[in-house]
């Protein structure tokens, strides 16, 4: 049969990174492509003990039964208190929803706010899945320039005026892909500007717990006075991505609409996963896993940064992030390097990265690449960067 797919899906391919994963089946491949947490940090023993204890407790039947779309109430209450560490004060259960990974919040926000042809502003470059999701709702991504301190506020205001966007999507702390963090002043200004023009903000924060140095900066949500900001985060980078547990915090009216959207999609997030995360907090394990994880990630980041300094050609410059999972690099125009074209050759040499164009709203960038340091070992990182450096030097010649 000749399938006639819907207009929203007919030209949709897979998200570039997940397609790359399939190419990475070579066992000796060094992958800087994904955003996988370090496997040795996954708390298997703790999760096994918790799951077993939960199933032997008086909560067992509740956990295996249907749950509320809003999320497991004890976890919602815990998160309402937890988000004070992001400067979000006074949140209650009614402000919190559990989602099946933070990415589900992006999907639900687009579902609830974006009509065909509506504009969503994104940082240029941004998390590529947000661009992918927006396309399934037939929205249009428009990139906002950004620099060391975060979004360019003039460009943001101009684009709000020009495009009347429904929403701004951003990752202000250890951004994916750049690893950069918005300054306090930029965060305040984003909250004020978007409130002034009635633009929703989706503040995505998957990485801020993986901080190597510097101080926490309060979230954009913490400066929200009119309820236009939704904050989302997940436990994928701290506890386990396989459990698929994230959350969002926002105005109760918006949360209620997202809940209706989620009800249709998956009824609720796995109760067992939610209860495991709740119990993980109850046992005080969350801060412990962070203190185990952060030094490991920092060592890997340092190894990658040092290898870049040592091996990469002078035409290459890159970020040195204070946290998160990624280094973002780019070649000078004069180098002639096209990171998208170079990708296949790098894979042949046994190293994968993600080329820059997938992170830009207009998909035109050819100079950048994103390098993940959490999946490979420090030795693999050193070796992989050397291979990439030799390859790019060859290409530049």
Q: Which of residues 124-143 bind a second copy (CB under 8 A)?
A: 129, 132-133, 136-137
Site for a second copy in 28-57 (CB under 8 A): 34, 36-37, 39-40, 42-45, 47-49, 51-56
State how far the Cα of 300 lies from the Cα of 108, in Å rounded to an integer: 34
Q: Show the tokens assigned to 301.
A: 């980041």
List binders of a second copy among 85-104 (CB under 8 A): 100-101, 103-104
| Dihedral pair phi/psi, residue 354, rounded to 5° | -115, 125
Closest among 35, 45, 51, 31 to 289, alpha carbons compared: 45
Given candidates 265, 296, 332, 395, which one binds a second copy under the rule CB under 8 A? 265
Per-residue DSSP letter, 88: -
How far lies 356's CA from each of 178, 267, 269, 342, 348, in Å?
10, 36, 32, 11, 19
- Identify the three-state secondary structure at position 360: coil
Looking at beta carbons only, is 147 or 242 nearer to a second copy?
A: 242
Residues 191-230 that bind a second copy (CB under 8 A): 195, 198, 200, 226-228
Task: Verify binding: residue 356, a second copy, rule CB under 8 A.
Answer: no
369-to-163, 301, 325, 339 alpha-carbon distances in Å: 29, 16, 14, 7
User: Smallest distance, Å, CB 215 to a second copy?
Assistant: 30
Among 31, 232, 273, 374, binds a second copy (CB under 8 A): 273
Task: Confirm or reject binding of residue 240 to a second copy (CB under 8 A).
Answer: yes
Nearer to a second copy, 162 or 267 (CB): 267
Q: Using the rule CB under 8 A, which residue among 183, 259, 335, 377 binds a second copy?
A: 259
Q: Is 264 in the site for a second copy (CB under 8 A)?
A: yes
| Contacting residue, 28, 61, 284, 291, with a second copy by CB under 8 A | 61
How far apart (Å, rounded) are the C-alpha atoms in residues 16 and 347? Answer: 15
In whole angstroms, how close is the CB of 197 to a second copy at the nearest point?
Answer: 11
Cis peptide before 125 (omega within 30 of 0): yes
Is 15 a binding residue for a second copy by CB under 8 A? The answer is yes
**Smallest distance, a second copy to C-beta of residue 14, A:** 6
CA separation for the pair 163, 234 (Å, rounded): 30
Largest CA distance in the chain: 68
Site string for a second copy, 175-194 (x = CB under 8 A): --------------------
Closer Cβ to a second copy, 190 or 308, answer by number: 190
Does the protein bind a second copy through residue 252 (CB under 8 A)? no
Number of chain residues interacting with a second copy (CB under 8 A): 91
Decide: residue 209, CB within 10 A, 0-12 exposed, 13-18 middle, 19+ buried: buried
Tell me how far the alpha carbon of residue 233 is from its chain's centroid: 8
203 or 382: whose CB is closer to a second copy? 203
Handedness of CA 139, 144, 150, 152 (dihedral sign): negative
Q: What residues from 291 to 350 belong to the interface with a second copy (CB under 8 A)? A: none
């Amino acid at each position: 049969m000749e399938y006639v797919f819907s207009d929203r899906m007919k030209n949709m391919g897979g998200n570039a990174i997940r397609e790359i994963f399939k190419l990475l089946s070579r066992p000796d491949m060094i992958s800087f492509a994904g955003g996988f947490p370090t496997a040795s940090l996954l708390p298997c023993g703790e999760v096994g003990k918790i799951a077993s204890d939960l199933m032997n407790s008086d909560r067992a039947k509740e956990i295996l039964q249907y749950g509320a779309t809003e999320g497991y109430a004890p976890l919602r209450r815990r998160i309402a208190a937890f988000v004070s560490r992001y400067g979000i004060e006074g949140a209650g259960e009614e402000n919190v929803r559990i989602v099946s990974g933070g990415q589900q919040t992006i999907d639900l926000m687009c579902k609830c706010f974006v009509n065909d042809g509506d504009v969503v502003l994104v940082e240029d470059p941004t998390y590529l899945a947000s661009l992918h999701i927006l396309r399934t709702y037939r929205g249009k991504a428009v990139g906002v320039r950004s620099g060391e301190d975060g979004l360019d506020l003039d460009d943001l205001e101009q684009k709000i005026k020009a495009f009347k966007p429904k929403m701004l999507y951003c990752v202000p702390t250890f951004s994916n892909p750049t690893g950069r963090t918005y300054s306090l002043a930029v965060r305040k200004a984003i909250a004020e500007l978007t409130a002034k023009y009635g633009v929703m903000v989706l503040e995505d924060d998957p990485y801020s717990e993986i901080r190597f140095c510097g101080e926490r900066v309060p979230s954009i949500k913490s400066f929200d006075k009119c309820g236009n900001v939704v904050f989302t985060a997940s436990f994928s980078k701290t506890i386990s991505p396989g459990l698929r547990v994230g959350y969002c915090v926002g105005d109760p009216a918006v949360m209620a609409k997202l809940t209706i959207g989620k009800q249709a999609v998956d009824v609720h997030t796995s109760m067992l996963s939610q209860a495991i995360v709740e119990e993980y907090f109850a046992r005080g394990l969350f801060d412990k896993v962070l203190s185990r994880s952060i030094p490991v990630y920092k060592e890997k980041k340092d190894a990658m940064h040092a290898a870049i300094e040592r091996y990469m050609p002078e035409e290459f410059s890159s970020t040195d992030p204070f946290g998160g999972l990624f280094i973002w690099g780019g070649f000078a125009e004069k180098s002639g390097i096209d990171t998208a074209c170079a990708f296949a050759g790098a894979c042949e040499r046994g190293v994968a990265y993600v080329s820059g164009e997938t992170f830009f709203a207009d998909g035109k960038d050819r100079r950048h690449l994103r390098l993940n340091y959490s999946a490979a070992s420090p030795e693999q990182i050193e070796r992989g960067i050397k291979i990439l450096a030799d390859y790019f030097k060859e290409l530049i010649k």
